[in-house]
Structure 1
């Protein structure tokens, strides 16, 4: 049995979630809510359900906004009302019926909201950047007014608005539980609102939510605490970081590791490590280019557990140009991460885990492939 296809156990304050394997479908926006109301559609059922049938251990729904103005594009999902909850229920039920766990990435895009997504029909019309208000867009919010994103100017959040925002995350977590999700991943990466608070490149505040490391991390710590309090204690809570801005004077992997340890103490146990998202990209490229960031964060969590005399009980996943089974297996064998998040490779091949398990020498009895498809696979 390969390491990649051993069971995984995600810890929570009063329970654990067991996954059939260590493959995660990374959340990827579909830009497919044509009604622009945040309500999931049959497309989302088929897209996520196909990956569950294809063998993923955890299937994470795309960035799902906690408030309407938190959507990356007008066609994104949301969890700010009951209609959205009801529409998610058959999706989570089907994911779980296929043996996968159902996760959702709760998100707020902040100053990078109200944009045209990566859809050819928009690009063919020359549409990119911020969506105008008269085309269904809105005025975005951010910790500070900045032009680093090259988008429409944002409204700078007041302290009162920040505190209201924290409660919106908690309310969305309660709806996620009602909708049947097993797992929440907080989106703190890719230049969206939480990351905008973390990075000195986008946070120039001088109050308690800016300046020092403690000030810049206050928002995410408050969000994590509020969500953890609203989310059932038996269900694990995770977070996705941009491990580094890859820009001098920006957010660093050392700060990411420090924050991961602090959030672990607050009940966050699963850490997915990506990178960048603020301004132009200046980092490395190539297969597995973000693995070293995940390794750094995992080492910090392992060291913290050892210092406390406790067993290592976190779970770190890596993401970014992980395309082959052998590559993913090697990451786990080397101890650089505990699981792998597969994104674009899973867009091309929804059965990525089942095919990976076969290429690593797995047997038909152990295959995570939906049994209806075994004739083709074997």
Structure 2
């Protein structure tokens, strides 16, 4: 670092200037996490601007509890801003959210995949359009309440898992690009537990200190995905057949959207000695394919739309020895990632996994370490 940049100590957000001269846009969902981030930064003297996104129908959202960015959450975010004395704006992103997140969610389910809309929301809305808005507001950076760590590395900013493994959100943030990472800050990533976050909320006297965490996908707060998809895509409820892996018809079903890979209960197939599981969904044929548990295991996974956060180009070597997560709730497992291009790969799991589903993410981690090397989307392959 040259001498001119050392005229002032580096502040907690990494800038060599006083906090009061550092503008930070805080993405505020109305929950305790982002509220604490905004309150902490305001208390440190930063030039804080709070921004909340209205992502879906405000009137309908008012009655929904446990969903982020709904009417009550907008109110809660605004109240935190008033209490802490910084400006707060609500941006209507309803059309963008429907086009880039909700529609794809419905279409993916119809195609027999198991989508993860929270990842697409981070990728296409929060870290794209909202981040662009933060730059338009002349912000030095944008801060969020995500539990993930940003650390300095030899090649620039690196993404690392949160200190609290129970809160780690790295699986949902793998599409974060290097350019975005340079602009983003995650002030909660180093905390050891959610209790610490709530204690900070109490310290600042925030009314949201005891607010429950949202559990469901924000635009499906009751967890009934099938009802939403049926409303958006009426053809999704078309009945079809449940067949075994040889194509033999075992039963009827009331629409592929009511089934997920790995499902065992509720298939309506009785009189069999061994339990059957959903191993594949064929939306074109309107078939739910079932088989024995061993048919769920997968070792080779095709991955595309890869975002790579390594120091060397992804396709600069034949294979990478990493750990991968194929579901948010599972720990990283050792794997060999073989690039097929700059954005596609074949992932070989050293130990086979059950229930690997198209539409889920495959996230790359340092084997035995905390660094995230990006990831991609699992698909069916040829």
Q: What TM-score comes out, normalization by structure 1 length?
A: 0.27
Higher relative contact order (CA 8 A, sep 6+): 1
Q: What TM-score comes out, normalization by structure 2 length?
A: 0.26
**Higher strand proportion:** 2
Larger radius of gyration: 2
**Higher helix proportion:** 1
